[in-house]
Structure 1
Amino acid sequence: MGIRVAVAGASGYAGGELLRLIAGHPEFELAVATAHSQAGKPLASVHPHLTGLDLTLAETGLDAFTDADLVFLALPHGESAALAAILPDTVKVVDLGADHRLHDADAWTRYYGGAHAGAWVYGLPELPGQRAKIAQAHRVANTGCYAVAITLALAPLLHSGLADADDVVVVAASGTSGAGKSAKLHLLGSEVMGDLSPYKVGAHQHVPEIKQATGARSLSLTPVLAPMPRGILATVTAKPTSCDITPAVVRAVLAEAYGDEPLVHLLPEGAWPHTAATLGSGAAHLQATVDVDSGRIIVVSAIDNLGKGAAAQAVQNANIMFDLPETAGLSAFGVAP
């Protein structure tokens, strides 16, 4: 018998992507998938792309998880903590929501509101020393989607002393699935198609998470809604700490950080990330240069927000927690066209 897995919040986009990855995982056995308003419906009626998985969505309650070895929480922000608190300590949990990412209770209140549930081990194994912490953990807080793309681009610059932690500016475009599956007027096809629109300008909830993960002290993030279902393209710029930093120096720092990482790819010189290349994959693509006019360091990062930005990242963390090959059930390659 494999590792018995439960997914709470399986009716959403991240939950559906989790189910797809679990179905192809060599060691995971899907035991139960739960939902709220969609409970009682056949899985394929909610996720037609999962036709062939003979499963009915169950109610989200403690009884649904009694036989699970591993629980993925794919619930809205603020809803994971209550369920996590009643799960047995013997069950390993990966929370895809934000409830357990932040150490700073004041930052949680400022950006999310409500009571702070406390911090778990942060689930980004590519950060220095983090993989060992995840391996020992029974509770892991999965990264936010923007946070993955931006942290992977920024962290090596700050850890190496290459960039100024007080001057980081990010503009990042995201597909509409990042806003969840609930019907929203501004996400209607006729509203989104042919349009780019900024949102949560100057107050995006992933900012404190990115600062916590990278050591940045000041970070300006402008998110942009793009007319595509999935993907994030983040352009991260930072002031260098020296005037003689070249593109080759920046690329060398990124290469040293990620040269052995199976799910982070520094592209060949001259090739730039684009979201279509990461579609359906668990990988991040990076490229870097130095602006010839301002001298600022530029790193561009692309991910699938439902892949490395959510479900694939969660599976990667779970693999580490169960001492499995880190890429089990995952692909570093995208789908094209």
Structure 2
Amino acid sequence: MSLSVAVAGASGYAGGEVLRLLAAHPDVTITTVTAHSNAGQPLIQVQPHLRSLAHLTLVETTPENLSGHDVVFVALPHGKSGELTEHLGDDTLVIDCGADHRLTDEADWAKYYGGEFYGAWTYGLPELPLRAGGRQRDNLLGAKRIAVPGCNVTAITLGLAPGIQSEVIRSDDLVAVLAVGTSGAGKSLKTHLLASEIHGSAAPYAVGGSHRHNPEIRQNLTAAGGEGVSVSFTPVLVPMSRGILATSTAVLQPGVSAADVRAAWQLTYAHEPFVHLLPEGEFPKTADVLGSNSTLIGLAVDEAADRVVVISAIDNLVKGTAGAAVQSMNLALGLPETTGLPMDGVAP
């Protein structure tokens, strides 16, 4: 029996990517797509790459239009998801691709986002290793409310969590610099995202710990076993439409060898379908994961600095958003976790 699905915010990049993945999912039927300013237009007019969904028309984003579905994906700006999803029935699986239900600490929400705090939902990062053992996927089984992680958060968390859980790195001196594609900023018109502004240039933003993903990264790495987690995270906008390349470093614990480091990451991800540790001396490129739900990780030890260097690559719209949403849906519904999700990227 096919599950009925609605996607709110279907005219944006995240909503469009959710639709692209769901269009190939054998267990769902997309019945409703909603938007704000684009309501009333054929979906194909604003998402021309989704040819198989040309029969759908965008309708207003209201609780009434979203009610009655088996699954609802919400891809709206922060502050908009919470006020909408509180009106949806408990029987519906609701998956929020936005920020409204990620943070457990109301003070963090007030500092980094502001506005009403809607409370945390089950966190949608299945591969996250937990302090007490197991993975976050165990908590997703049967869940009815799921919060999808931030894209930068996913790249850093998957890069560093194995070292923290296995206690081979310290968690109080973490540094991450990310090269981020422009689609991470959303589809709204912004001057600094114009081709003439971004082409041939790289520009840091949210410098000095002001990025809204900071508390979520600390939250995840604490859940993985970190004590006094401190992370300095700097994103850099680069001229590519998709992708995140995160270079994360951490101080090694005393007496830890390079072999201990590699063993920790290998053990953590040995059986993960979508997270792959590359052979020693190899490092990923964002092109390697374009269009895929995979995370590729390269690992090295900088002996002179006594630090581990982890380079992780994801597609910010797939593993960073829509892929995590569909993966979490599969787990919540008892479907095979990999259903409808591409492991392979697109090249060249």
Q: Give the alignment's TM-score, normalised by structure 1.
A: 0.98
Amino acid aligned to 2:28 = F
- Superposed, which structure 2 residues align to 1:178-257 within 5 Å? 178-202=184-208, 203-215=210-222, 216=226, 217-242=229-254, 244-257=255-268
In the TM superposition, residue 31 of structure 1 has moved relative to its aligned partner by: 1.1
In the TM superposition, residue 159 of structure 1 has moved relative to its aligned partner by: 1.0
**Take 1:280 and 1:6, find their aligned partners in 2: how far apart are those partners?**
22
Structure 1: runs of 5+ lacking an equivalent: none
Report if the CA contact (8 A) 1:251-1:287 is conserved: no
Q: Does 1:72 align with 2:70?
A: no
Amino acid aligned to 1:36 = H
Aligned to 1:8: 8
**Take 1:132 and 1:223, find their aligned partners in 2: how far apart are those partners?**
31
1:285 is paired with a residue of what secondary structure? strand
Aligned to 2:132: none
Amino acid aligned to 2:211 = H
Report if the CA contact (8 A) 1:8-1:75 is conserved: yes
1:107-156 Cα deviation digits (max 9, x unpaired): 01111111211111111111233111111310011010001000001111
1:295 corresponds, among 277, 285, 306, to 306
CA root-mean-square deviation = 1.0
**Take 2:318 and 2:344, find their aligned partners in 1: how far apart are those partners?**
11
Q: Does 1:310 align with 2:326?
A: no
Q: Does 1:264 align with 2:275?
A: yes
Report if the CA contact (8 A) 1:247-1:288 is conserved: no
Amino acid aligned to 2:324 = Q
**Take 1:89 and 1:176, find their aligned partners in 2: how far apart are those partners?**
36
Report if the CA contact (8 A) 2:153-2:213 is conserved: yes
- Superposed, which structure 2 residues align to 1:57-68 within 5 Å? 57-68=58-69
Report if the CA contact (8 A) 1:168-1:238 is conserved: yes
- Superposed, which structure 2 residues align to 1:73-92 within 5 Å? 73-92=74-93
In the TM superposition, residue 246 of structure 1 has moved relative to its aligned partner by: 3.1
Question: May I ask how many residue pairs the two structures share in their alignment?
Answer: 336
1:281-328 Cα deviation digits (max 9, x unpaired): 001000111113211111110000001000011000000011001010
Q: Does 1:122 align with 2:123?
A: yes
Report if the CA contact (8 A) 1:246-1:289 is conserved: no
1:49 is paired with a residue of what secondary structure? coil
**Take 1:276 and 1:51, find their aligned partners in 2: how far apart are those partners?**
24
**Take 2:78 and 2:122, find their aligned partners in 1: how far apart are those partners?**
17
1:48 is paired with a residue of what secondary structure? coil
Structure 2: runs of 5+ lacking an equivalent: 130-134
Which aligned runs of 4 or more in structure 1 are off by greater than 4 angstroms? none
Q: Give the alignment's TM-score, normalised by structure 2.
A: 0.95
2:153 corresponds, among 147, 150, 154, to 147
Aligned to 1:168: 174
